[in-house]
Amino acid sequence: MKLNKWTVALAAAGLVSLGQNAQAEEAGNAVMTAMSKTTLSGFVDTSLSISEKGANQALHGRVPYQSGEKMNGINLDVIQLSLASPLDESDWAAGYAVDLLFGPDASAYSVSTGAEADDVAVRQAYVNTRVPVGNGLDLKMGVFDAIIGYEGFSNRDNPNYSRNMAYNLQPFNHTGVIGGYQVNDLVSAQFGVANTGGNILMDRADDSSDISYMGSIAVEAPESMGALAGATVYVGYMEFGGGGDEQQNLYVGSTIPTPIDGLALGAAWDNVQNIAGNGGDANVLAGYISYQATDKMSLNGRVEYLDGDEGVLFDATSNGVAVDSEMLSLTGTVQYDLWENVLTRAEVRWDSQEDGEGLYGGDDDIITFTLNAIYNF
């Protein structure tokens, strides 16, 4: 250990002990070693949205934080700050991840804590460990993103700004434990348990038999399949409460490369039973297309169809009569990355209520336009 002259002088005067100083230095080195493995990242997400209807018009099938309140104005959507220490390749690796949300969209998560809506929330916070069983069993304990769904919370990770209709029927996150296992180069699986179905941070099941469980399996096409090499099929299942009398989500999704350079396809099917425990069911089918036109420009499209029971999307029509939820939605996005670290895109979305009850201010459909700019750091 190297001591500076000031430390030696203090020791000579009896004001400090060299042993204590050595311990402090060792502790400081341990902290710095831990911090050296930690990464800081995040994003700032903003948007400008325009609707042909008023700002108070409900946008059926969209998540609460992308509804009519954001129309006809400029928005700060959310700021995410992430701290993480990822697992290394060692047998007994350990790490953690924390995603904190700030801004209006964070209220979707702060409400889910059971408290009053706030503009600060925890998206994820978990400890990640590895157990050297077989190829290595990776375990997460804490709060983590839901394992089902083609699209996720972060706008930047989705092909379009607005979410698909199925996302509104899925949990956002879970408080629980989940294990991930890489069976081989092509097959991976997950299985976990959670306090409840999701979204309510630190919520508790009534008893152990009501704990929710989830699982998934992903398969990737091998190189021997030629143009289809790298295609994936993902199947995930989630049952709230574990007893069969609560909501159940089944998700099947696939991403498919094509022989055309830069062109990829995707598909998703969501089957949701007993939504929110109220007995309603829904099926959502979605198709995706993505084309990387140039190094900076990409084109993304999505078509969706939702067929659900009464009350899934519409509580009642304008004349007070409940109707089945049936909707068709088309979304198109042009993304152009003009600035470094900035995602910029323009989206047009058309939603149509197929039952013809005029729930969009007397009309059966609505068109919205959104400019989205996200800075990643």
**Residue 115 structure tokens:** 């408290």
Measured CA to CA, the distance from residue 49 to residue 79 in angstroms comes to 18
Question: How far is 286 from 160, CA to CA, in rounded Å?
Answer: 13
CB 283 within 8 A of CB 307: yes
Q: Record the tokens describing residue 299, joined without a space.
A: 């084109």
Q: How far apart are CA 363 and CA 184, in angstroms?
A: 52
Residue 243, pLDDT score: 55
Predicted confidence at residue 15, as pLDDT, reads: 47
Q: How far apart are CA 352 and CA 366, in angstroms?
A: 7
Please count the CA atoms within 13 angstroms of the CA of 210 that sit on its side-chain side.
11
Q: Which residue has the tokens 């928005």?
A: 75
Could you give the CA distance from residue 79 to residue 252 in angstroms, rounded to a whole number? 30
Report CA-CA distances (Å) from 192 to 69, 97, 109, 195, 247. 36, 18, 21, 11, 17
> Helix 18-36 to helix 5-12 angle, to the nearest 10 degrees?
150
The length of the chain is 377
How many other CB atoms sit within 10 Å of the CB of residue 69? Answer: 17
Alpha carbon dihedral 270, 276, 277, 278, in 10-degree steps, equals -100
Tell me the whole-structure pTM to 2 decimals. Answer: 0.84
Along the 377 residues of the chain, how does pLDDT read in single tens digits? 445 544 444 444 444 455 544 455 555 555 555 566 899 999 999 999 999 887 777 787 787 777 778 889 999 999 999 999 999 999 999 999 999 999 999 887 655 555 555 789 899 999 999 999 999 999 999 999 999 999 999 999 999 999 999 998 998 888 999 999 999 999 999 999 998 766 666 666 666 667 889 999 999 999 988 888 899 999 999 988 755 568 899 999 999 999 999 999 999 999 999 887 777 899 999 999 999 999 999 999 999 999 988 777 765 444 444 456 789 999 999 999 999 999 999 999 999 987 766 777 778 889 999 999 999 99
**Three-state DSSP class for residue 62:** coil
Kindly report the CA angle at 191 between 183 and 128, in degrees rounded to 5? 85
Residue 361 has what pLDDT? 72
Q: CA-CA distance, 175 to 164, in Å (whole number)? A: 24
Q: What is the DSSP secondary-structure string of 65-128?
A: GGSGGGBTEEEEEEEEEEEEE---SSTT-EEEEEEEEESGGGHHHHGGGTS---SEEEEEEEEE
Choose among 356, 362, 353, 352: nearest CA to 318.
362
Closest CA to 199 of 282, 140, 270, 111: 111
Which pLDDT value is given to residue 206? 66
Secondary structure letter of residue 10 according to DSSP: H
Q: DSSP state, 163?
A: P
CB atoms under 10 Å from CB of 220, counted, come to: 17
Going by the DSSP 8-state scheme, the letter that residue 252 receives in this structure is E
